[in-house]
């Protein structure tokens, strides 16, 4: 006979509950093998090995464990037909299919009629938690995520399951009690929320003992921290006066002391005229109930109560789990408002209801909230978000849905008489008082009239987001209503984005080169590399259409690098053909220029192609040059270290500061084609061009005019002192092969 098993020691690093085994071994029923048979059903072999390693050398209820292994739901179905006396099944929820485990539970309970075996669901994917109806219908003993099953917790869980199995087997002669327990568990699991569940527990105890339920059920929060407050969760019969209070000695000394005794001993306590039931909850919550009784309890009553409490403890954990999962899945944890997922459900219901024609959906985006958050701290920012949520809920009127769907984006859904720009933006006229500080906020709105919307709730939310982006692109503290034309525009952009990716992969894009000319000698000195797209049917897509799409989608990074390498290789080929004093200009988009690895891309392109950096020029727009000047100055300095020169394209269209321009390490200014076009038609056009030329001369910068289309323009530019030009007057953009031929003919003409 082995010595009595002592309580498992709990280490300081492991906060699992202590597990107490019975002091005396239970007698072995004749014909029953002296082991507990545990079946492990999991498609991961590591789970089998780790489970057997964790439990293999341990005795439970003075018996060793014997393991039976199945590696799929199908294999388990066949084995369970002939494997006898399985006490516990450790079952993976997700195997061949996402719900293979739940289907197997159905097969075990309904087809094989195995009602005694205890089933513990395990999953490595918390998102596949079983719903309440699954737990209710299939008598699942427990549910745990694999990450929370430490060795002691696994031992505790399996021990509790084996105890339940043993007790169920022993009291088969008391079918009435068992049936009542099953019925009670079924009814309890239909109750949503911990308080409703707790009230049901008291009623079911009374039914189980065939007496009126007079009692109270309490929860002790944070028992590990020495907290002894007992919060009343439910009452029954003559104890109704204790509803929703903190139970202390002052309130009722007899009940308080009885509950404290059960909590201290972590077990049920049976008195002469009362019982206290202990329900072992999670580490931070213990549940305990006090009930008056009119008669003494039999041994079978006590055993039935033990089984009942074991089931209720699991049920309480599962109810809390499902409630927590529901709240996490459908509600924002900060504001307690519905989140995006819940809002889509509400929108679907609204679109299917009679009030859709009068309803409006509005996204409310707080302007510059990130700056406020960074300046005043995230805790202050959280309080500000809560204040905004409160004002939206309380001051727009009733019958509205307010949700938080993003960091600083709220949503309001309701009748158009309440949900409109005037009402919503009006809420931001007054400052928000946060921690003694007044904070003035503004907001931008994107709105959708549901009566004009066709589609699902998710589609409506997307349309509101499209309207919001349009409003933000025009002005802050404004609004925009979604229209069908905007939807068509967005869909066209998406279609073009996919087409552009396909075209890039199928080599439909290519580079052409427009020569740059010395106005005095009329000889080519360089070329600008330009990207072109020709579809298989021969149509050309304008760069003004596809370049913004490439920038928006991020494809411009790969496209830009490819253009850079292609232009560098062409420069090398031109130099081999004898055109050595030739400059290659390459456009760089803002998205490409801001990429953290842009410098690496440039250096690698130069190294891989062997292009001389002193004959490479990168063109950036004036608007790019005006953003984040300190960052740009640093970046241009690093580019200059490679030997590559810099030109500012479209110069004159922005508002460059001359003092700032002096700090930039640039080499050339390009006069925008708009001023070249006006040079023969207005004094303003001529004066701006002359100003840019004079500015370049004063700053020691080269100047080139683009868009020169007639001789008159060329002559005026030359007379103003502009040294270089490009445009249709001299040559249209041409392929690399055509450029080689054009340059060769020009060289022959020059020699002649």
Residue range(s) defining the domain that contains residue 244: 191-330
Q: How many CB atoms lie within 10 A of CB 580?
A: 10
Residue 112 region by backbone torsions, left for phi larger than 0, else alpha for psi between -120 and 50, else beta: alpha
Q: Could you report the per-residue pLDDT of 286-297, keeping only the tens digit for each? A: 788 888 888 878
Domain assignment present for 610:
yes
CB burial of 147-183 (b: ≥16 within 10 Å; e: otherwise) equals: eebebbbbbbbbbbbbbbbbbbeebeebeebbebbee
Residue carrying structure tokens 């110069």 = 651
Spatial distance between the Cα atoms of 174 and 368, rounded to a whole number of angstroms: 69
List, in sequence order, the alpha helices (H) in 475-589: 484-505, 543-553, 556-576
In this prediction, residues 644-665 reach a mean pLDDT of: 73
| HEC string for 41-71 | ECCCHHHHHHHHHHHCCCEECCEEEEEEEEC
Q: How many CB atoms lie within 10 A of CB 104?
A: 26
For position 27, what pLDDT does the model report?
A: 38
Q: Which of 297, 330, 363 is the last residue of a domain?
A: 330
The answer for residues whose C-beta is within 8 angstroms of residue 601's C-beta and 6 or more apart is 561, 564, 595
Token couple for 596: 């953290």
Same domain, 54 and 164: yes
* CATH number for position 414: 3.30.70.270
Domain assignment present for 5:
no
Do 247 and 230 contact (CB within 8 A), yes or no? yes
Mean pLDDT computed over every residue of the chain: 81
Domain assignment present for 16:
no
Same domain, 198 and 302: yes
Beta bridge partners of 669: 648, 703
Do 278 and 293 contact (CB within 8 A), yes or no? no
For position 641, what pLDDT does the model report?
A: 93
Q: Could you report the per-residue pLDDT of 117-166, keeping only the tens digit for each? A: 999 888 876 655 566 666 667 778 788 777 777 888 888 889 888 888 88
Residue carrying structure tokens 């299939």 = 138
Position with higher pLDDT, 504 vs 182? 504
Residue carrying structure tokens 């938080």 = 404
Q: Which of 330, 361, 379 is the last residue of a domain?
A: 330
* CATH number for position 55: 3.40.50.2300
Q: Could you report the per-residue pLDDT of 384-442, keeping only the tens digit for each? A: 999 998 899 888 877 889 999 888 999 999 998 889 999 999 999 998 888 778 888 88
In this prediction, residues 605-620 reach a mean pLDDT of: 95
Beta bridge partners of 119: 89
Same domain, 478 and 531: no
3-class secondary structure, 444: strand
Same domain, 572 and 709: yes
Same domain, 636 and 726: yes
pLDDT band at 24 (very low <50, low <70, confident <90, very high): very low
In this prediction, residues 105-115 reach a mean pLDDT of: 88
Q: Could you report the per-residue pLDDT of 544-567, keeping only the tens digit for each? A: 889 988 888 889 999 999 999 999
Q: Give the closest residue to 730 by CA, choosing from 713, 750, 752.
A: 713
Domain assignment present for 3:
no
Same domain, 160 and 226: no
Q: What does 157-183 look like in DSSP terms, one character per residue? A: HHHHHHHHHHHHHHTTT-HHHHHHHHH
Same domain, 426 and 544: no
* CATH number for position 624: 3.20.20.450
Domain assignment present for 525:
yes
Same domain, 381 and 289: no
Same domain, 106 and 230: no
Q: How many residues does the chain have?
A: 752
Q: Which of 116, 144, 173 is the last residue of a domain?
A: 173
Same domain, 657 and 567: yes
**What's the domain count of the chain?**
4
Domain assignment present for 185:
no
Domain assignment present for 490:
no
Q: Could you report the per-residue pLDDT of 309-357, keeping only the tens digit for each? A: 777 777 666 666 666 665 667 788 888 888 888 888 889 888 888 878 8
**First-last CA distance in the chain:** 117
Same domain, 602 and 679: yes
In this prediction, residues 678-707 reach a mean pLDDT of: 82
Domain assignment present for 55:
yes
Same domain, 50 and 195: no
């Amino acid at each position: 006979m082995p010595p009595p098993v002592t309580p498992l020691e709990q280490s300081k690093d492991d906060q699992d509950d202590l597990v107490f085994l019975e002091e005396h071994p239970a007698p072995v029923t004749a014909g029953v093998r002296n082991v507990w048979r545990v079946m492990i059903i999991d498609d991961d072999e590591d789970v089998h090995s780790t489970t057997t390693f964790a439990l293999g050398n341990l005795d439970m209820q003075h018996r060793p464990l014997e393991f039976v292994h199945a590696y799929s739901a199908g294999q388990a179905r066949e084995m369970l037909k002939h494997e006898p006396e399985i006490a516990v099944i450790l079952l993976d929820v997700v195997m061949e299919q996402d719900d293979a485990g739940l289907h197997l539970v159905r097969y075990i309970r309904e087809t094989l009629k195995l009602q005694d075996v205890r089933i513990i669901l395990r999953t490595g994917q918390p998102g596949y938690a079983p719903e309440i109806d699954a737990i209710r219908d299939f008598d699942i003993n427990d549910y745990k995520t694999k990450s929370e099953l430490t060795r002691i917790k696994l031992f505790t869980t399996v021990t509790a399951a084996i105890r339940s199995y043993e007790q169920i087997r022993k009291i088969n002669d008391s079918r009435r009690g068992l049936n009542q327990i099953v019925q009670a568990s079924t009814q309890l699991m239909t109750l949503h929320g911990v308080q409703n569940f707790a009230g049901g527990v008291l009623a079911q105890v009374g039914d189980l003992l065939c007496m009126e339920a007079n009692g109270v059920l309490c929860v002790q929060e944070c028992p590990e921290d020495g907290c002894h407050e007992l919060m009343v969760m439910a009452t029954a019969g003559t104890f109704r006066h204790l509803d929703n209070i903190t139970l202390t000695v002052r309130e009722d000394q007899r009940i308080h002391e009885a509950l404290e005794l059960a909590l201290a001993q972590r077990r049920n306590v049976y008195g002469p005229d009362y019982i206290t039931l202990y329900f072992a909850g999670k580490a931070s919550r213990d549940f305990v109930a006090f009930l008056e009784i009119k008669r003494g309890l039999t041994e079978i009553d006590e055993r039935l109560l033990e089984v009942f409490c074991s089931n209720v403890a699991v049920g309480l954990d599962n109810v809390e789990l499902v409630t927590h999962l529901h709240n996490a899945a459908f509600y924002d944890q900060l504001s307690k408002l519905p989140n995006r997922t819940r809002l889509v459900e509400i929108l679907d219901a609204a679109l299917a209801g009679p009030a859709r024609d009068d309803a409006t959906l509005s996204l409310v985006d707080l302007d510059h909230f990130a700056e406020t958050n960074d300046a005043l701290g995230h805790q202050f920012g959280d309080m500000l978000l809560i204040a905004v949520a409160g004002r939206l809920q309380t001051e727009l009127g009733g019958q509205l849905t307010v949700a938080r769907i993003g960091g600083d984006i709220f949503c309001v859904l309701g009748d158009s008489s309440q949900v409109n720009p005037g009402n919503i933006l009006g809420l931001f006229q007054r400052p928000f008082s946060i921690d003694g500080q007044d904070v003035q906020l503004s907001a931008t709105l994107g709105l959708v009239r549901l009566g004009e919307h066709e589609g699902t709730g998710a589609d409506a939310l997307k349309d509101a987001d499209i309207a919001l982006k349009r409003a933000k692109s025009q002005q802050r503290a404004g609004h925009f209503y979604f229209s069908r034309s905007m939807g068509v525009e967005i869909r066209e952009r998406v279609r073009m984005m996919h087409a552009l990716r396909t075209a890039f992969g199928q080599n439909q894009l290519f580079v052409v080169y427009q020569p740059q000319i010395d106005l005095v000698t009329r000889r080519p000195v360089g070329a600008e590399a330009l990207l072109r797209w020709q579809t298989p049917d021969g149509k050309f897509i304008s760069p003004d259409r596809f370049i913004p799409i490439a920038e928006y989608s991020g494809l411009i990074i790969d496209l830009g690098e490819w253009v850079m390498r292609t232009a560098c290789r062409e420069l090398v080929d031109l130099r081999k053909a004898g055109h050595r004093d030739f400059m290659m200009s390459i456009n760089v988009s803002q998205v490409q220029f801001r990429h953290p690895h842009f410098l690496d891309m440039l250096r690698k392109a130069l190294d891989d192609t062997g292009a001389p950096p002193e004959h490479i020029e990168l063109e950036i727009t004036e608007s790019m040059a005006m953003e984040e000047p300190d960052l740009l100055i640093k970046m241009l300095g690093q580019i200059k270290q490679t030997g590559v020169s810099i030109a500012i394209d479209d110069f004159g269209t922005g508002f460059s500061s001359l003092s700032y321009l002096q700090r930039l390490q640039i080499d050339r200014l390009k006069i925008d084609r708009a001023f070249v076009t006006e040079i023969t038609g207005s004094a303003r056009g001529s004066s701006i061009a002359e100003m840019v030329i004079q500015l370049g001369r004063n700053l020691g910068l080269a100047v080139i005019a683009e868009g020169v289309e007639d001789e008159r323009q060329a002559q005026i530019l030359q007379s103003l002192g502009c040294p270089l030009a490009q445009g249709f007057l001299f040559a249209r953009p041409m392929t690399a092969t055509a450029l080689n031929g054009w340059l060769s003919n020009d060289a022959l003409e020059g020699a002649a």
